[in-house]
Amino acid sequence: MSLSPIHVLRRKTWIFALLSLTLGILVCDSAPLLVQETDQSLFEKRIAGSNAWLEVDTQAFDENIKRVKEFLDGRAELCAIMKADAYGNGIVGLLPTVIDNGVKFIGITSNEEARMLRENGFEGRIVRARSASRNEIEEGIEYKIEEIIGSLEQAIQIKELSKSHGVKIPIHLVLNSTGMGRNGLEIGTETGKKEGLKIVRNKYLNIVGMMTHFPRAKIELIQAASEKFAEQTAWLIENSPLERENLTLHAASSFAAQNVPESLFDMVRIGGLLYGRTAPYERLITFKTRIASLHTFPEGSTIGYGGSAILTRDSVLANLPIGYTDGIARSLSNRGYVLINGKRARIVGVTTMNTTMVDVTDLPEVHMNDEVVLYGAQGDDFIDDRENRMHSERTLGEQATMWGASNPRVYF
């Protein structure tokens, strides 16, 4: 099996890997050119020349996968959700760990993500975690993507594409058993039941799974929806030529899988836990920059656009060469914090496209080029998910995908 150059990465054995983001997302001018290299000196050189970077802990990722599989204990298969370039952590850098752990299913959204999986050695099943357009589905045939459908019209489209390409595109029928109201077929109505029967009885369709998705993280609601999903899938199977043993039923994502055993079915779709979003699962990423310059300003000085910050004392401010084009939310203006030498420094003024100012007046021994942590640990302190969300008004998922889209990554 052909794997990426960074196949086995171990903690405390620093093997730097800078990987290209190839999802078709426009990289802003302030961000570095993201390319894949295999020479360690080039890794270090590119990081040294970058205004900001992400450090990704592959050992933590490995431990998180093992923890999930240990928890599941064979009750359900793990589908590792790696959409949005593995939540900003980088598909190519993490894929060897997924393969090493024997994960059979990976969830993605784009054809480009599927291409990266296949070209870097993944031979298992790829499930698209959203509805796709006709052109996407047609191109995705090459990568053996299992598509999701939730309407008769989608089913007819899949049938036509299957016939024209001489393949039977594998599909998962989505049911709106939970009230998500997004991709699912509503078979709680007579019209929905008729559509559902037409889909499951169509001999030209290759139905390999049925699924739903929970919109709320409330145990009692998930329990009720799981029961409804079980009843609806059983009814469809009973009234069709489908055989239960040939179908993969799945409903649970991270919260449901952890808290509601009835939601496990045959497979669980886990994303957040793998990337350390919830304790005791380990955080993977640390987001860093460096101090570009230091400036002393007298009391009464205004800082940044609009003069939104007025200094109440003589102050020393550090200029960080990073802004919202690199993924720093403007909502952090005048309220967020960073870590410098293990101490907190408050953001002062408006975060701009390329620059963020922080107050280091009370921090000893601060120098130009000192390392700055925007998310993660430094010394005895930590900028965690809760604080990040409180100050930025964005989830870690929103933030991390932006960071990954605009900044190089180092894997260790």
Q: How many CB atoms lie within 10 A of CB 288?
A: 23
Residue 411 is a catalytic residue: no
Catalytic site residue from 83, 159, 288, 343: 83
Count the neighbouring beta carbons within 10 Å of the beta carbon of residue 228. 17
- Of 22, 21, 19, 61, nearest to 43 by C-alpha is 19
Which among 224, 226, 209, 217 is positioned nearest to 267, based on CA atoms?
209
The CA distance from 48 to 290, in Å, is 10
The angle subtended at Cα 167 by Cα 164 and Cα 173, nearest 5°, is: 100
163, 194, 198, 305: the catalytic one is 305
Q: Cα(first)–Cα(last) distance of the chain, in Å?
A: 22
357 known member of a binding site: no
Amino acid, single-letter form, for residue 133: S
Sequence-distant (≥ 6) Cβ neighbours of residue 356 within 8 angstroms? 320, 322, 323, 328, 332, 338, 347
Q: Is 83 a catalytic residue?
A: yes
- CA-CA-CA-CA torsion for 258, 395, 354, 289, nearest 10 degrees? -30
Bond before 5 cis per omega within 30 degrees: no
**Paired residues of 81 in beta bridges:** 107
- Cβ contacts of residue 345 below 8 Å, gap of 6+? 318, 337, 338, 339, 358, 359, 360, 363, 372
**Is 216 known to sit in a ligand binding site?**
no
- Residues at the annotated binding site? 182, 353
Known binding site for substrate: residues? 182, 353
Please list the active-site residues: 83, 305
